[in-house]
A and B are shown apart, each in its own frame.
Chain A
Amino acid sequence: MKGDRKYIVLFLFPAAAIMTIFLYYPFFKSLYLSFYRTSGFFDKKFVGWANYERLVTDKLLGAATLHTLEIMLYVIVFQVGIALVLAVLVDNIAKFKGFYRTVFFFPVVISGTAISLLFVLFYNYNFGLLNNLLANFNIEKILWLDAKNALKAVSIPTVWHYVGFYFILFLTAMAKIPADYYEAAKLEGITGIKKTTMLTIPLIMSDIKVVITLAITGTLKIFEFIWVITSGQNGTEVLGTYMYKKAMVDQNFGYGSAVAIYMVVFGVVLALIANRLLKRDEITY
């Protein structure tokens, strides 16, 4: 053991160094900057808590938080829900398992920006695909991205993009369940939906918990879909785009950093709440 220590340190070092440079350093730098009023890159002045006072009174930030929460709801219900349904279905078929696994996982590999550009062309009012279809049926064009629909419209690609990822997580979790459980269930005459709800889902509950936590923290990072499809207009501003606008477009890095810190705190709090709500005994088999 003693001789191993050298190697342990040696092997941990690269990961620790990378984490420090790309994660901890920027985080603490943001914390530091959030106490400054910056204007451009060359000018900054200590302002104490002023940026945090602004956070509390900022109506746009409040709206962005609500929009993020709304998307989070869609993500938990639909992204996780659809992934679970698909996983159950694929787990129960004998043939083409690999094929479906690839097909459903595919969107995850495509860049979010590319998907967003695709959806820009779906939703566009004047020559979008959807309105062209409607025009073929002589139905009046619809403004897909108006103030009422915009948030739902951008949630669709957001949800669709990552379904495959959670689908794979669920599928691997299901593959871990020992076959004798199912054999016993079969002898007891439990099949179909009952088997899924009484056996499969309870047995992968800990994975579902992980997935929900991932979904919650993942939603806080949503950026490219909103940025490309609506650039935060019509009630679609989320925390990620708001932070970017403040820091990069307005070049107010101080306030942008304060928003970033708020996002971190908000995310940790949400994850803790989710963990508390989903608390259950771990199942071992």
Chain B
Amino acid sequence: MKRTSMLLMSVMLLLSMFLAACGNSGSTNTPAAEGETPKTETPPAEENAPVSLRVFSTFGGTDAAREAFQAALDEFTAAHPNVKIENDTMSANDDGFRTKVNTDMNSGNEPDLLFYFIGADAEGFVNAGKVVPLNEILDANADWKNGFIPDALELAKQKDGNIYAAPLTGFYEGLFVNKKIFEENGLELPTDWAKLTTAVKTLSAKGIIPLSVPFDQSHYLIEHTILSAAGPESQSKGLIDGIDPNWEKAYAAMKELYDLGAFPKDAATIDLSMSGNYYSEGLAAMTIEGSWAVGGWSDDTRDNSTVLPFPTVPDGAGSGNDIVGGFGSGFYLSKSTYDDAAKKDTAVELLKHLTSPATIQKIASANGGTPAADVEVTGLAQVALDGFAMAAKADSISAPVDSKVSQETFGNLRASVQPVVEGKKTPTQAIEEAKKTEDANKK
């Protein structure tokens, strides 16, 4: 008995030494040379050796594209029976998702493929070299590269000019309007500020919520008012170089809307899903949301909705036809996987599969996002088509302002919404406080 356990122990020890050796060879600086040796020796084994990959994404829970994404993974495993894929998901609605990704990336627990935001959010792990630039792989696989719309790849670039994330679908945000409620009340669609305020006055007098947004999770309200107040150029500069006085007008506009009774009475304590619920149930005439929200609304509301660019706030620098959107997320390939000879090729294959025009077409059909490939998306609601048309006609498409300032600054901007609209803080104070946070963060 004792002897067998000793034997087992030594075998395990030996195995673990092997594993450690493999791990080391993967992380040395000459992965290409060492990685190629086993490949040339045993090509058939390489093909059939079981590989297990972990794909982390937001395609889970109530996400509209959950099933389409799972189907895409299943397709891949059906074609490659030796591959096992762990479909690890978390809802993007919550900030916990960011924490999870960053902790994973920081603690050596990187998923093989990661679906995450592009831009400031990813800067940390991109700069730390946790993911590989895809430029060379894209160039080496012309078929794959040509599948994307050039603009989509352009928008997927990080600050350093490299592409780290392969885009899948893009998004647009805008002012979603329930046309039926507007018609019933004899109102014109809110294409400019005057029409918006008229609509707000009329609707709130009738007990209909004019614009359903929450104060705490006020991301979209802030994004749109700041974009229309500051204009796309000043918006993209953020706050680091100084305060553009136009930014204040965003908060002044929110206060004006609040004073006219635009927001739900309980806007202070509801969250985004509840405010979306009010719109979906037809209790509210307008909401500010993104393309992904469309799939979650009741059929009735969806069929009656259209989407418009948020009108320019009084004296704002925006044109009234600037929208928030882009290819805000994509698939990253982690460095540790790329350096692991056993996984590398399979992971690249999977990445190519998940961002192939066919998959992009299916995902876009499911979530109503703008496809990153030149494909025909079918079966979409009219409001989604309106959204594509809006994006195509827009004067400018900007990434949301939360990607232009630090997380903490944006937190500060969010926390100022309620005090400003209730008159406990002036718009000037709100922006100045945000600027202070931004400065402290960049120190």
Cβ contacts under 8 Å, A200 to chain B: none
Asked whether B201 is an interface residue with its Cβ less than 8 Å from the other chain, the reply is no
Kindly supply a per-residue 1/0 record for chain A positions 19-57, scoring 1 wherever the CB is within 8 Å of any chain B CB and 0 otherwise: 000000000000000000101111101000000000000
Q: Which residues of A, 236-263, contact B by the 8 Å Cβ criterion? A: 245-246, 248-252
Q: Contacts A230-B269, A233-B418 known; A42 to B125 CB distance under 8 Å?
A: yes
Q: A42 to B124, Cβ gap below 8 A? A: yes
Q: A143 to B266, Cβ gap below 8 A? A: yes
Closest to A255 in B: B408
Min Cβ gap B401→A in Å is: 15
Closest to B406 in A: A39
Min Cβ gap B193→A in Å is: 27
Q: B264 to A125, Cβ gap below 8 A? A: yes
Min Cβ gap B429→A in Å is: 13
Asked whether B378 is an interface residue with its Cβ less than 8 Å from the other chain, the reply is no
Closest to A120 in B: B274
Asked whether A234 is an interface residue with its Cβ less than 8 Å from the other chain, the reply is yes
Asked whether A229 is an interface residue with its Cβ less than 8 Å from the other chain, the reply is yes
Asked whether A150 is an interface residue with its Cβ less than 8 Å from the other chain, the reply is yes
Asked whether A196 is an interface residue with its Cβ less than 8 Å from the other chain, the reply is no
Q: A145 to B266, Cβ gap below 8 A? A: yes
Q: Is the interface of B mostly helix, strand, loop or mixed?
A: helix
Closest to A40 in B: B124
Q: A125 to B95, Cβ gap below 8 A? A: no
Q: B440 to A37, Cβ gap below 8 A? A: yes
Cβ contacts under 8 Å, B408 to chain A: 39, 246, 250-252
Cβ contacts under 8 Å, B407 to chain A: 40, 249-252
Asked whether B45 is an interface residue with its Cβ less than 8 Å from the other chain, the reply is no
Min Cβ gap A152→B in Å is: 13
Q: Contacts A41-B105, A249-B411 known; A231 to B124 CB distance under 8 Å?
A: no
Cβ contacts under 8 Å, A248 to chain B: 95-96, 99
Min Cβ gap B154→A in Å is: 25
Cβ contacts under 8 Å, A147 to chain B: 268
Asked whether B382 is an interface residue with its Cβ less than 8 Å from the other chain, the reply is no
Q: B98 to A124, Cβ gap below 8 A? A: no
Closest to B123 in A: A40
Asked whether B298 is an interface residue with its Cβ less than 8 Å from the other chain, the reply is no
Kindly supply a per-residue 1/0 record for chain A positions 98-129, scoring 1 wherever the CB is within 8 Å of any chain B CB and 0 otherwise: 00000000000000000000001000111100
Q: B124 to A233, Cβ gap below 8 A? A: no
Asked whether B283 is an interface residue with its Cβ less than 8 Å from the other chain, the reply is yes
Closest to A147 in B: B268
Assembled-state Cα–Cα distance A90/B270 (Å): 39
Q: Which residues of B, 404-443, contact A by the 8 Å Cβ criterion? A: 406-408, 411-412, 415, 418, 440-443
Q: A126 to B406, Cβ gap below 8 A? A: no
Cβ contacts under 8 Å, B103 to chain A: 41
Asked whether B39 is an interface residue with its Cβ less than 8 Å from the other chain, the reply is no
Min Cβ gap A226→B in Å is: 11
Assembled-state Cα–Cα distance A234/B267 (Å): 10
Q: A125 to B266, Cβ gap below 8 A? A: yes
Cβ contacts under 8 Å, A251 to chain B: 98-99, 102, 406-408
Min Cβ gap B61→A in Å is: 15
Q: Which residues of B, 94-126, contact A by the 8 Å Cβ criterion? A: 95-96, 98-99, 102-103, 105-106, 123-125
Q: B128 to A124, Cβ gap below 8 A? A: no
Q: B266 to A249, Cβ gap below 8 A? A: no
Pick from B128, B217, B268, B281: contact of A234, CB under 8 Å = B268
Asked whether B256 is an interface residue with its Cβ less than 8 Å from the other chain, the reply is no
Asked whether B148 is an interface residue with its Cβ less than 8 Å from the other chain, the reply is no
Kindly supply a per-residue 1/0 record for chain A positions 134-148, scoring 1 wherever the CB is within 8 Å of any chain B CB and 0 otherwise: 000000000101110
Assembled-state Cα–Cα distance A127/B280 (Å): 13
Q: A245 to B411, Cβ gap below 8 A? A: yes
List 20 A-B pairs, Cβ < 8 Å. A37-B443, A39-B442, A41-B105, A43-B124, A124-B266, A126-B209, A143-B266, A145-B266, A147-B268, A231-B216, A231-B217, A232-B216, A233-B215, A233-B268, A233-B269, A249-B407, A250-B408, A250-B411, A251-B406, A251-B408
**With A45-B443, A127-B281, A248-B99 given, can you name 13 additional A-B contacts, CB distance below 8 Å?**
A40-B407, A41-B106, A124-B274, A126-B278, A143-B265, A143-B266, A145-B266, A146-B268, A233-B268, A246-B408, A249-B411, A250-B411, A251-B406
